[in-house]
């Protein structure tokens, strides 16, 4: 396949371009893992490894969906450390700083195994073909959709339908708004290269959060009465809001804890198996405050906020809804994949 010329990588020495708004590079490796192997990558248990750093919100989505659908025994999980340099995410949490399945120190090695001159950012999440050691895709929006639709044969008994056919148009519409204004909106604030672009992104972000506050005031979930792909995409940004985006990215009109509906909604999801048990607040803070040296040159990582508030009852059950629909919650995380308790 042909890789488009880079328009700006996620991993680079400086994240801020003076005088310019932040523009995310959304040209990903678009190969898919499908039942018909249309791109040469068939759905095959045990063949692929999901590399998904705990710190990254985009990778966090894939870890949540993998948990909810019970794909842990089908697709293994590699966990890079929370920081990286300008070249690549590294496996410094593993013994010898080497991924135990792929046998590599840097995710970059899997990219270069397929594209020796890969010109873009070495991003997570990434799916790697274990036999060849080659990256298959880093197209994170499609990875979760394919987990939900192409790997159905290997879903656990009681797995929820996170992308129901009847609601897909609405899920896609809501998710698109959330991506531009919230998921990527916080980055547009944090990496803005001018006052004007920062204030524009700031106003758009909080207008959308106000819209979400109103939308979720009378409904437990974003679309329908069960958890869907849309909720997962919003949750990973909300989980990082007070710990990182409020201060580090200057998204400081108010904290998440000061938005009663969104704060209760986020706690409801956090306390749902498959969500909070993928969140490591210390890795999240270390990633942003250490890696973004152009924003935080001292590298000091804040001690707060106190994360125990995430365990306070949300009261969202009063709105009805069934988190897993006709399905059931996932079991506990695999021992090697547990995060520190609050």
pLDDT tens per residue, range 79-116: 999 999 888 999 999 999 999 999 999 999 999 999 99
Per the rule left: phi > 0, alpha: psi between -120 and 50, beta: everything else, 146 is alpha
- Taking each helix axis from N to C terminus, what angle separates 229-240 and 168-178, rounded to the nearest 10 degrees? 20
Separation of alpha carbons 20 and 289, rounded Å: 22
pLDDT for 196: 97
Q: Indicate if 187 belongs to the active site.
A: yes
pLDDT for 2: 37
The residue annotated as part of the active site, out of 15, 111, 187, 202, is 187
pLDDT for 19: 75
**Per-residue pLDDT tens over the stretch 196-209:** 999 999 999 999 99
Q: What average pLDDT does range 244-269 have in this prediction?
A: 98
Q: Indicate if 251 belongs to the active site.
A: no
In Å, what is the CA distance from 321 to each residue of 64, 169, 206, 298? 20, 20, 26, 46
Among residues of the chain, what percentage have pLDDT more than 90? 90
Lowest mean pLDDT among 16-30, 148-162, 253-267, 273-287: 16-30
Band (pLDDT 50/70/90 cuts) for residue 24 is: confident
Closest CA to 239 of 339, 139, 90, 333: 339
pLDDT for 73: 97
pLDDT for 193: 94
Band (pLDDT 50/70/90 cuts) for residue 15 is: confident
User: Does position 334 have pLDDT exceeding 70, yes or no?
Assistant: yes
User: Does position 34 have pLDDT exceeding 50, yes or no?
Assistant: yes
Separation of alpha carbons 269 and 274, rounded Å: 9
**Rounded CA Rg of the chain:** 19
Q: What average pLDDT does range 271-282 have in this prediction?
A: 98
Separation of alpha carbons 225 and 77, rounded Å: 30
**342 contacts: CB under 8 Å, gap ≥ 6:** 281, 307, 308, 310, 311
**Per-residue pLDDT tens over the stretch 39-68:** 999 999 999 999 999 999 999 999 999 999
The residue annotated as part of the active site, out of 15, 28, 56, 289, is 56
- Tell me the whole-structure pTM to 2 decimals: 0.95
Return the higher-pLDDT residue of 20 and 95: 95
**Per-residue pLDDT tens over the stretch 166-186:** 999 999 999 999 999 999 999
User: Does position 4 have pLDDT exceeding 50, yes or no?
Assistant: no
| All domains in the chain, ordered by first residue | 165-337 (1.20.1050.10)
The verdict on whether residue 41 carries a ligand-binding annotation is no
User: What mean pLDDT, rounded, does the chain reach?
Assistant: 94
pLDDT for 14: 59
Q: What average pLDDT does range 237-245 have in this prediction?
A: 98
User: Does position 12 have pLDDT exceeding 70, yes or no?
Assistant: no
């Amino acid at each position: 396949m042909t890789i488009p010329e880079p328009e700006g990588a996620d991993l680079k020495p400086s994240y801020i371009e003076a005088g310019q708004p932040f523009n995310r590079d959304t040209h990903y490796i678009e190969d898919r893992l499908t039942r018909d192997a249309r791109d040469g990558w068939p759905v095959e248990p045990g063949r692929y490894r999901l590399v998904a750093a705990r710190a990254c919100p985009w990778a966090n989505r894939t870890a949540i969906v993998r948990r909810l659908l019970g794909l842990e025994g089908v697709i293994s999980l590699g966990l890079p450390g929370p920081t990286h340099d300008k070249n690549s995410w590294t496996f410094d949490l593993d013994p010898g700083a080497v991924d135990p399945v792929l046998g590599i120190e840097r995710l970059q090695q899997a990219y270069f195994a397929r594209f020796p001159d890969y010109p873009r950012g070495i991003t997570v999440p990434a799916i790697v073909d274990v036999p060849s050691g080659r990256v298959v895709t880093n197209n994170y929006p499609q990875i979760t959709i394919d987990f939900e639709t192409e790997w159905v044969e290997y879903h656990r008994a009681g797995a929820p339908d996170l992308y129901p056919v009847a609601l897909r148009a609405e899920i896609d519409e809501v998710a698109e708004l959330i991506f531009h204004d919230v998921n990527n909106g916080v980055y547009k604030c944090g990496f803005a290269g001018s006052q004007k672009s920062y204030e524009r992104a700031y106003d758009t972000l909080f207008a959308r959060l106000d819209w979400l506050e109103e939308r979720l005031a009378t409904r437990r979930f974003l679309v329908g009465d069960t958890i869907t792909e849309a909720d997962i995409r919003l949750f990973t940004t909300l989980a990082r809001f007070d710990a990182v985006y409020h201060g580090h990215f200057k998204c400081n009109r108010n904290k998440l804890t000061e938005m009663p509906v969104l704060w209760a909604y986020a706690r409801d999801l956090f306390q749902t198996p498959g969500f909070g048990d993928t969140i490591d607040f210390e890795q999240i803070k270390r990633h942003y405050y250490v890696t973004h040296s152009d924003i935080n040159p001292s590298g000091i990582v804040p001690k707060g906020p106190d994360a125990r508030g995430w365990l306070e009852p949300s009261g969202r059950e009063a709105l009805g809804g069934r988190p897993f629909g006709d399905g059931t919650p996932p079991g506990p995380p695999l021992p090697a994949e547990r995060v520190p308790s609050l």
